A and B are shown apart, each in its own frame.
Chain A
């Protein structure tokens, strides 16, 4: 009688899969109450390392051509499609979903990812503009990526929320620290494996697991995070997050729609350039 090799779930920081520097884990059970896994209990230091990695990766990622980003994101979708069965298994186990609904969620997540991949080289065309100022100047507004964005992934449907949080942030040229929902972290790590095998440069995406309320405090107060997707944060914690975040005026947003250009434009800054027209 053959037994399976059990999977270990680690963090994803700067392109590698380390354990938490705290050495700690927490237990999650499946929907039936049986042991499922020991994901890492991410620490403040893990978050800090992720932010350093994300910051270092930002210049290269945002200066790559939009076409290049789009190609890389589409490749992630190709890899996700190949791992669909693994995602389905994890969703059934964690969320208590039926096989049919788990499969539907995975397909929807891949299609959501593809939707955002297609925006990379189009977002400026719909949110930038040439402005007709009264004077001998060309004046144009270009949205640019904000920088380093932390994402608190919402709960069920876990994979779909992970994708809707992460894809728009990196499609728009930001680099990310994705904090998996503490009840449903497994798909996040499998997603990390997809990213690691798809030409995504190290540091562009970092994925952590652990306790949300701790991350709220640490991420809220860290001065080198520029923006936060707080969709997964509870109302009680959201106030704390915003109070801490005010120290460096973090752009903190929550979203209700999975497919929305706001998930990109809210993490972009508009730069307006004037240039004289004359001999």
Chain B
């Protein structure tokens, strides 16, 4: 929560600072991530990466049709992803809508998942189109129900129309509602920001306003967590740490469907931000179907032959 990079609290100062950021060359950015995608992760490092990826998954269900039954099943899966192999670690968090938080917290506590946090999406997720009062209440409700992490959305309309001070203030306010105990992820919705320059600016804006994590997407809009976007965000947290001494986390969400995708993300983290970020405290992956693919790959590494979907549970 460091605004000392800004001369004062005005929007003009914020814009001035953001304009000092270096441009991103899209072609160059894509070339770098393509090269990193060729890294071949095998044997022992693959095993290590799979287990780390599992521990980084924010296992998610964000559907209008969610029911208590669905949420309880998800929580059971998150605590013991593979009931036949208890060496499989638990996931990093459970991510649900605000009104499912209580059920998730109860299910986790009763099922051996006391240490797994519940993250709630908030602030009129996914569109963010509501009044500040509604957004604040949304956040308060989630926290009261037991969420220890809040995934908020920024106002993309305000960002794209240049109201950067407004976007900043919203984040700052929600962080104040969270306090220092509740961990705030700020969703940039990079698919709507479109350019990598915008992603860079939005990343810094969110960090300056108090984000503990910057998150790529709601998962409801494509494209979501593409490699160039994650690359820009990892550079932002890397450079922000150099200036301020504070490490902010990154969460890609949406479009990471299989182990190969997840490992590519970990390679990006390793070579762009640095090994300190290879930790669920600083990197999470928002996903649902990914977990089963990680489990099947883990089985293949363990047994020496490919598994089938029959051998992993459907939540």
Please tell me whether chains A and B touch each other in their complex, using a CB distance cut-off of 8 A: no
